[in-house]
């Protein structure tokens, strides 16, 4: 039986990962700030639910008797939306992950996986340098990178094997947010025109089931000290992605390109998009149309008031 620890288990990706391991029969301990929202998972006999906020991450080992953790998945983060470029809010995320790494060492953790974001690789529209050559413009992404580097160094000091994943734009059933992916689908279902940027830069939409498959493979088979990009098997201009979603859900609805100015984009020249496949055999399996239709059925159930 695997022993899995998680933070961020009550989030979109976290709940899917939690369900995967519980249904597999693993012993899972979830450190969450809102255990009252996790009632549906208490039916699993090997589920251990622990209430913990960021300020508790420096004594996680005292909150459970569980030891010999096979994989610790760190999916927590605070500060989205308007706080994306608020450095004071973003910097608050760095100490908790370092605390969690140190505590994971005390719990005999064999592998620690941190989730960063494709935002780490965003650069300015007019930047002449690549991200890997020093270009930065997104505070949230920069904080993710800083947290990753600090946690990795802490892991080396504490003897905790460490690796990282960077998620592409994950969409699908279970996402209760009003992020752009859900918003586009919602508007199309209502027959409303979409206001977009020029849509010329590359983006990547990955269905949640494929993201979880990649995350599990990285956690279980990924090489220590690696950063794995988890995305689909193709990157496309945003206008092409949204255009295909429109053609699936509401052919003929207008997409008004250039309504907004795109001041930044993901520098995919700085991302190794095939490393996860090379090291673990990962391959996304969901057909895009089927994924969009499943997401549309889910979006219909959300409260948009």
pLDDT, tens only, 2-17: 999 999 999 999 999 9
**Which element (helix H / strand E) includes 213?**
helix 208-221
Domain assignment present for residue 89? The answer is yes
β-pairing, 236-237 with 202-203? antiparallel
Q: How many CA atoms lie within 13 A of 210 on its CB side?
A: 27
Model pLDDT, residue 202? 94
- At residue 37, the pLDDT reads 87
Please answer whether residues 229 and 275 qualify as being in contact, where contact means their C-beta atoms are separated by less than 8 angstroms.
yes
In terms of Cα–Cα distance, which of 77, 78, 63 is closest to 29?
63
For residue 210, the model assigns a pLDDT of 98
What pLDDT is stored for residue 81 in this prediction?
A: 79
In-domain check, residue 257:
no
* Structural domains counted in the chain: 1
Among 222, 219, 216, smallest CA distance to 279 is for: 222
Note whether residue 189 is domain-resident: no
Q: Is 260:195 a contact under the CB 8 Å cutoff?
A: yes
pLDDT value for 225: 98
HSE-up (13 A, CA, CB side) for residue 96: 22
Domain with 35 in it: 3-167
- 177 φψ region: left (φ > 0), alpha (ψ -120 to 50), beta (else): beta
**8 A C-beta contact, residue 9 and residue 32:** yes
Per-residue pLDDT tens for 33-83? 999 889 899 899 999 999 999 999 999 999 999 999 999 999 999 988 788
Give pLDDT, residue 304.
87
254 in a domain, yes or no? no
In-domain check, residue 20: yes
Mean pLDDT estimate for the chain: 95
Q: Which pLDDT score, from 0 to 100, does residue 50 have?
A: 96
CATH number at residue 82: 3.40.50.720
- Residue 266 CA to residue 250 CA, distance in Å, equals 28
**What is the percent of the chain with per-residue pLDDT over 70, rounded to a whole number?**
100
* pLDDT beneath 70, residues of the chain: none
Residue 195 is assigned to a structural domain of this protein: no
pLDDT digits (tens, 9 = 90+) for 268-281: 999 999 999 999 99
**Residue 37 lies inside a defined structural domain of this protein:** yes
> Is residue 228 assigned to a domain?
no
CA dist., res. 264 & res. 201, Å (int): 9
């Amino acid at each position: 039986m695997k022993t899995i620890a998680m933070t961020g288990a009550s989030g979109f990706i976290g709940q899917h990962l939690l369900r995967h391991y519980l249904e597999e029969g693993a012993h899972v301990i979830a450190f969450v700030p809102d255990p009252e929202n996790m009632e549906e998972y208490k039916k699993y006999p090997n589920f251990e639910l622990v209430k913990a906020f960021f300020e508790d991450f420096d004594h996680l080992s005292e909150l459970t008797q569980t030891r010999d953790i096979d994989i610790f998945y760190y999916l927590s983060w605070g500060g989205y939306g308007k706080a994306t470029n608020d450095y004071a809010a973003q910097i608050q995320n760095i100490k908790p992950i370092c605390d969690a790494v140190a505590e994971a060492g005390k719990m005999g953790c064999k592998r620690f996986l941190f989730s960063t974001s494709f935002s780490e690789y965003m650069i300015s529209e007019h930047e002449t340098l690549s991200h890997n050559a020093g270009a930065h413009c997104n505070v949230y992404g920069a904080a993710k990178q800083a947290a990753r580097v600090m946690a990795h160094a802490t892991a080396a000091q504490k003897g905790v094997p460490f690796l990282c994943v960077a998620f592409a734009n994950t969409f699908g059933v279970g996402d209760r947010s009003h992020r752009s992916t859900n918003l586009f689908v919602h508007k199309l279902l209502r027959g409303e025109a979409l206001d977009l940027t020029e849509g010329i830069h590359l983006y990547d939409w990955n269905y949640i089931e494929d993201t979880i498959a990649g995350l599990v493979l990285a956690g279980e088979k990924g090489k220590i000290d690696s950063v794995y990009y988890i995305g689909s098997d193709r990157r496309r201009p945003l206008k092409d992605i949204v255009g295909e979603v429109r053609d699936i859900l509401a052919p003929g609805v207008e997409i008004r390109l250039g309504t907004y100015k795109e001041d930044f984009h993901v520098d995919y020249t700085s991302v190794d998009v095939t490393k996860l496949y090379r090291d673990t055999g990962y391959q996304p399996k969901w057909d895009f149309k089927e994924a969009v239709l499943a997401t549309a059925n889910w979006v219909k159930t959300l409260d948009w008031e």
